[in-house]
Chain A
Amino acid sequence: MASPQTLATAEHLPKRGCDTTPGPPRQLPRQRAGTTPQMRGRYPDYDVLAAAAHWDAKTRRAVFERVACVPPIRFFDEQQERTLRVFCDVVMGQDSEPRIPVLEMVDTKLHAGRLDGFRHHDMPPDPQTWRQVAANLDRSARERGCTGGFADAGSEIQHEIVEGFSKGRLDWDLPVDKAWGVVMRGVLSAFYSHPWAWNEIGFGGPAYPRGYARLGAGQREHWESPPSFEVDPVGDVRERGLE
């Protein structure tokens, strides 16, 4: 049982000693309005898409397409897809549905040949880097006795490999720290461009042409929602008959 905490303290944060082992975080309420990844979040009654009528048409179309159109995988082959799908879940902590389709979003960008404007001199082009990362994740898993590759390795081994990847500590056939930068840049910009992630973190959204008026500490626009933290998720779900 976790000790009582509030958002005014920072005791829930990883650097303050909070437990960050895999698995769903404790104390987070279940989402009541809109969707968040895994239906957990800090703002259970906030749905950024509810404000979409106040956005300009171009922005609205761009954001809604991310929700409505999950493109097929076209760039990665089947094995790469299998490996990288699990990798994306592990690095973003997506352990259940609903998931933000990170791999599909990355695949679309690579398929379309969209680049980020730079390549390290000792690195292959970004699309090639992604393919090599997939192969190397599988190789690292096999070295740890998982013949099926990264996707079939247990959660503990997957986390061990990703931790090594993030620290540049693996012996791969490309510079590991730079490869981490390439893939995480793609993963993060996919995940946090999705309005479900905005719901989870309480981001106010595009706000054009409406804008923001309440800028002070602790202030909210009327459509923004207060955070909630101490809700007991089990009791909350039972109380509201969500099971």
Chain B
Amino acid sequence: MRERLRVALKGSSRPRGNDSAFLLDPRSRAVPGRESMRRYRPDDAVDMLIVGAGAGGATLAQRLARSGWRVLVLEAGPFWDPDEDWVSDEAGSHHLYWTEERVIGGKDPVELGKNNSGRGVGGSMIHYAGFTPRFHPSDFDVRSRDGVAADWPIGYEDLKPHYERLERELPVAGELWPWGDPHGYPHAPHPVAGGALRAMAGARKLGIEMRVGPVGITNGSFGNRPHCIYRGFCLQGCKVGAKASPLVTHIPDALAHGVEVRADCMVTRVQSDESGRCTGVTYFHDGQERFQAAQAVTVAGYSIETPRLLLHSAGGRFPGGLGNQAGLLGRSIMVQGAPQVAGRFPEEMRMYKAPPPEISSEQFYETDPARGFLRGFSIQTVGPLPIGWAEHVLADGHWGQALREYMRDYNHWYAIGVLSELLPRAENRVTLAQETDRHGMPVARLDYTQCENDRANIAYAKRTLREILEAAGAQDILTIDRYAHLVGGCPMSHTPQTGVVDSDHKVWGVPNLFVCDGSVMPTQSAANPALTIMALASRLAQRLDDKRIDPGRGRGLLREDAAA
């Protein structure tokens, strides 16, 4: 009752066990506590060493630190200061992306870099659009339902309490959500721009319901997090601090509880001993190779860098790489088909205003046999800025004066897109290429080819987008084919023969090595992965903490290890 009264008077409730929003400095965007943060010596075997400070790594670090673990995070990219390091500009934001060399192949190659690969503290959530939907309960047993893809060794109910907790921490703004497991959001939906209203009206004519949100963008008072100013640069890093990323949602609290985040440290090898336990990692900082000891290691480098690191850590008892006994390490990489269709309207829409993530629909999310393919897609908005819009126009086949004409018409257009669930295939995989990077580490190669179900899904989704825009009164249509969101590569499985990690993210065959990022997902879903990666990390932290022998002395031994 008291809590209800407080909410009625003061807005949404303060999340439990995470003070990040309240630790931020209202006068500056730099994360407080960085100068005074705890430092660990190289020979000090920390309870948990985490590789990567993105959605998985940062959330895990914050949770474990809250439970008294001694945690060190090594991050390949910089520790961002949004005031100093970021600009409100497309081309000037190139350094937010992982732009080092990677090789791509397959029949339907997936372009990497700015679309799907982040670096620095906060990871890809620094430049994600901001959509934070939950997965549907059906996502966790696709194989049992439809006979394709895989079943997860955990279910929706395992993640549900963590979804709820994280939605308060980000916090998520949106309408009451009728799809999947119906639920509400802590912050009210944001206002939407004219283009989104037109798209919603078009969808309604076809019987398609679209709702506002869900986005990890504050809509009202939330600690010292500023409100959104609708400038539309979500994909270039939120200088405002309104959009949720671990940099503002979990790192401040992590630092306050003794986590060291060591930035600009590229881990090249997880070291293991003769008994098969890992002992720490080798990394490069300022061009010098160093070693950091650890009781346990979690790799959270996402779907390209995590398999690359585990493959490159081969040796001793693990000739094919850590966790590769079944030969599945790096396999079943997934992306979502993410074509975008833009419509031209008589009035100016100026789609650069308001956050790119405005409205979405999950009406086509589940399998419908009448559509002729398995699984489905969600519909979302994208709000391309000028360079993004130019790439859209080019993809429709225009250059020279025609391209300039469509570009001059920018303000009359509005774009919507989909996320089509594409199925996992073993041959879509990360391997080590011949060439090496500046540290002498082989670069990753990603091969990707769609299957028939994938093509049918994308084609149907594109038709639906077109119909919505036509129903909304679009006078002309431009289409671009693209992908979004990497996941997979280290799938979670019931047995050591069918995956890379178990249901507790522990790498099969290595007692003190974990993977905690999007790479553990056995299926892709038609939802954006950020919230689910965070929820997985939150659940893993709880599992790790429940199993600890001796929390008081801060030793990261796990009960089953001690019994062995």
Contact = CB atoms under 8 A, between A and B. Distances in A.
Interface of A: 7-10, 12-16, 18, 20-23, 25, 28, 41-42, 55-56, 58-59, 62-63, 90-93, 114-122, 125, 159, 162, 166, 184-185, 188-193, 197-198, 200-204, 206-220, 224, 227
Contact of A56 (B88, B91, B350, B412): B88
A119 B197 CA distance: 39
Contact of B117 (A117, A166, A214): A117
A143 to B, nearest CB: 21
13 contacts: A13-B405, A13-B406, A18-B405, A56-B87, A56-B239, A92-B403, A117-B97, A117-B102, A189-B91, A201-B409, A215-B354, A219-B348, A224-B350
B216 to A, nearest CB: 18
B263 interface: no
A218 B348 contact: yes
A8 B473 CA distance: 12
Contact of B198 (A28, A184, A217): A217
Interface in B44-64: none
Contact of B344 (A10, A41, A201, A217): A10
B158 interface: no
Interface stretch (B71-79, B186-194, B490-498, B521-529): B186-194
Nearest to A190: B91
Nearest to A202: B411
Scoring A90, A198, A208 by chain B CB atoms within 10 A of each residue's CB, the highest score goes to: A208
Contacts of B347: 8, 217-218
A21 B240 CA distance: 44
* Interface of B: prevailing SS: loop
B229 to A, nearest CB: 3
B387 A189 contact: yes
Contact of B231 (A91, A92, A207): A207
Given A7-B412, A184-B399, A208-B229, A200 B476 contact: no
A216 B193 CA distance: 5
Contact of A55 (B88, B111, B198, B475): B88
Contact of A206 (B87, B99, B400, B401): B87
Contacts of A166: 397, 399
A185 B391 contact: yes
Contact of A201 (B90, B191, B195, B411): B411
Interface string B193-214: 1110110000000000000000
A227 B231 contact: no
A115 B119 CA distance: 14
Contacts of B389: 192
A59 B88 contact: yes
B92 interface: yes
B394 to A, nearest CB: 6
Interface of B: 83-84, 86-92, 94, 97-105, 109, 111-114, 117, 191-195, 197-198, 229-233, 239-240, 344-350, 352-354, 385-387, 389-391, 394, 397-412, 445, 475-476, 478
Contact of B113 (A118, A197, A210): A118
B386 A192 contact: yes
Contacts of B90: 189, 192-193
B451 to A, nearest CB: 20
A20 B400 contact: yes
Nearest to A193: B91
B94 to A, nearest CB: 7
Contact of B104 (A15, A63, A119, A198): A119
B435 to A, nearest CB: 9
B103 A118 contact: yes
Contacts of A118: 101-104, 111-113
Contacts of A116: 99, 113-114
Contacts of B387: 188-189, 192-193
Nearest to B115: A117
Given A62-B89, A120-B109, A162 B406 contact: no
A211 B229 contact: yes
A217 B89 CA distance: 24
Nearest to A36: B408
Scoring B87, B114, B197, B398 by chain A CB atoms within 10 A of each residue's CB, the highest score goes to: B87
B230 A20 contact: no
A200 B407 contact: yes
B102 A201 contact: no
Nearest to A126: B101
* Interface of A: prevailing SS: loop
A59 B236 CA distance: 12
A117 B94 CA distance: 10
Shortest 7 CB-CB contacts between residues of A and residues of B: A117-B113, A211-B229, A217-B194, A193-B91, A206-B88, A208-B88, A10-B475
Given A118-B104, A185-B391, A92 B240 contact: no
A216 B358 CA distance: 13
Contacts of A159: 400
A17 B260 CA distance: 61
Contacts of A92: 400, 403-404
Given A114-B94, A118-B104, A193-B91, A13 B386 contact: no
B88 A22 contact: no
A227 B409 CA distance: 10
Scoring A18, A159, A210, A217 by chain B CB atoms within 10 A of each residue's CB, the highest score goes to: A217
A200 B389 CA distance: 14
Contact of A93 (B111, B230, B349, B403): B403
B230 A162 contact: no
A91 B399 contact: yes
B101 A115 contact: yes
B400 A121 contact: no
A116 to B, nearest CB: 5
A193 B229 CA distance: 22
A93 B104 CA distance: 32
B103 to A, nearest CB: 5
Contacts of B400: 20, 22, 90-93, 159, 162
Contacts of B403: 91-93
B239 A119 contact: no
Contacts of B89: 59, 62-63, 193, 206
B103 A119 contact: yes
Contacts of A206: 87-89, 231, 233
Given A13-B476, A22-B400, A115 B229 contact: no
A120 B104 contact: yes
Given A115-B100, A116-B99, A217-B197, A188 B390 contact: yes
B99 A121 contact: no
Contacts of A211: 229-231
A203 B194 contact: no
A49 B401 CA distance: 25
B401 A25 contact: yes
Contacts of A203: 352, 385-386, 410-411
